[in-house]
Structure 1
Amino acid sequence: MSMLTPPGMGGKYRITGNAYPRMRRPRRRRYVFGALAAVAVIGVGGWGTMQLIDVFSGGGGAKPATRAQAAACAAQASPAAAPLLPKPAQVTVNVYNATPRAGLAKTTADELRRRGFAVGKVGNAPPVYDKKVPGAAMLLGASTAHDGALRVLATQLTGAELRVDARKTADIDLIIGTAFKSLTAKPAADKALAAMAAPPKPDGHC
């Protein structure tokens, strides 16, 4: 009798031999592993397909532009015309000296005339401004001249203060202040004037 045969049992219940019965794994686990493997293969295949589509379509993974971005790019592609600024010959400048130094109004007016500006009155500053302009100069004109004639004249004098008053005429005042030394060098002034009249360039983000 084999050692594996329980006491009192024999005949057809007797276990003989040296081999043990093998236990098979449940078939359910095989099905689960097979399903997981199939999902993994499908996922990898789908990802590879998307990568190929992206490469052949020239895409870099960038997100599609929004409507606002598309509108901005369209505006940059067709920039608005530069604001129409008056030419120096169309700007009449009154030159006033608000400093104790004599002759500044005349020499400054002569230089502006050589640069193409029309010159109006030349003399000492009115009492309300006389010796009360600490900066290089004050440019004064009507509110309608702020984005036009005043800006054009400002290219000729770095650091000038722009102000508006209640006048109805088109002329503007250049009131020379205590810190004034000279007008901006003509090459630099011409460059600033040309840049101000040029249309804006696209920023290159489209």
Structure 2
Amino acid sequence: MGGKYRITGDKYPHMRRPRRRGKLILAATASVVALGLAGWGTLQLIDVFTGGNRPASAADHKTDCSSAKPSTPAKALPKPAKITVNVYNATPRSGLAKKAADELKKRGFTIGEVGNAPAAYDKKVAGPGVLLGAPSATNGSFPVLGTQLRGAVLKTDARRTADVDLILGTKFTAFSTPQSAADALTALTNPSPAPSC
């Protein structure tokens, strides 16, 4: 070689290491993806806190309110005095049915028969109790009497009378407090209203 490119004995050409273009392309792609995800996440957060990408109009508000269901009317449940309760003891503890009947009488219920449980239930009720009555009692007497004894099992039979049997089980210790029973009854008769528009 000649001229200015001539190699003399005291100078050597400097060779650069080959560039690794693969790492450069990978780093650029990763940064573009990260920026895209960050931007998309930011837009999602903005939509969450602003309620979407368009402001709600008054027409939208009216549509939502008109399609809302009316509040459920209060249930017409019988008063405790209108419910005749037969109290039966299915436990080995003596006198339990009489004590329970006296307490229910104080709370306004009409008491029918009091005694030991029939053979089908005697010493066979593992929970706090069983409410037994006609199918019509499911939406009438059962909810009212059920406020007095939490965890009672509801069962129907073929009777045609309106009375209800309360069969006390081995886990029965006491009725609900009068206040909690009254609160539960209020919640049944006056369900919470639908949200206003």
* Alignment TM-score > 0.5, same fold: yes
Residue identity in the other structure for 2:77: L
Residue identity in the other structure for 1:145: A
Residue equivalent to 2:175: 183
Q: Does 1:149 align with 2:118?
A: no
In the alignment, which of 43, 56, 61 is matched to residue 62 of structure 1?
A: 56
Query: Aligned runs of 1:3-152 on 2, under 5 Å?
Result: 61-62=55-56, 64=60, 70-72=66-68, 75=70, 79-152=71-144
Residue identity in the other structure for 2:131: L
Residue identity in the other structure for 2:55: G
The total of aligned residue pairs comes to 142
State the percentage of identical aligned residues: 51
Matched position secondary structure for 1:146: helix
In the aligned structure 2, how far is the partner of 1:199 from the partner of 1:161? Answer: 23
- The answer to whether the 8 Å contact 1:105/1:123 transfers is yes
Matched position secondary structure for 1:85: coil
Provide TM-score, normalisation by structure 1: 0.64
Structure label with greater radius of gyration: 1
Following superposition, the deviation at residue 191 of structure 1 comes to 1.2
Structure 1 residue runs of 4 or more that deviate by more than 6 Å after TM superposition = none
RMSD after superposition:
1.9
Following superposition, the deviation at residue 67 of structure 1 comes to 5.9
Provide TM-score, normalisation by structure 2: 0.67
Residue identity in the other structure for 2:182: D
Following superposition, the deviation at residue 65 of structure 1 comes to 5.6
Residue identity in the other structure for 1:72: A
Residue identity in the other structure for 1:61: P
TM-superposition CA deviations, 1:53-75 (whole Å, max 9, x none): xxxxxxx71262696762315x2
Residue identity in the other structure for 2:128: A
Unaligned 5+ runs, structure 2: 1-53
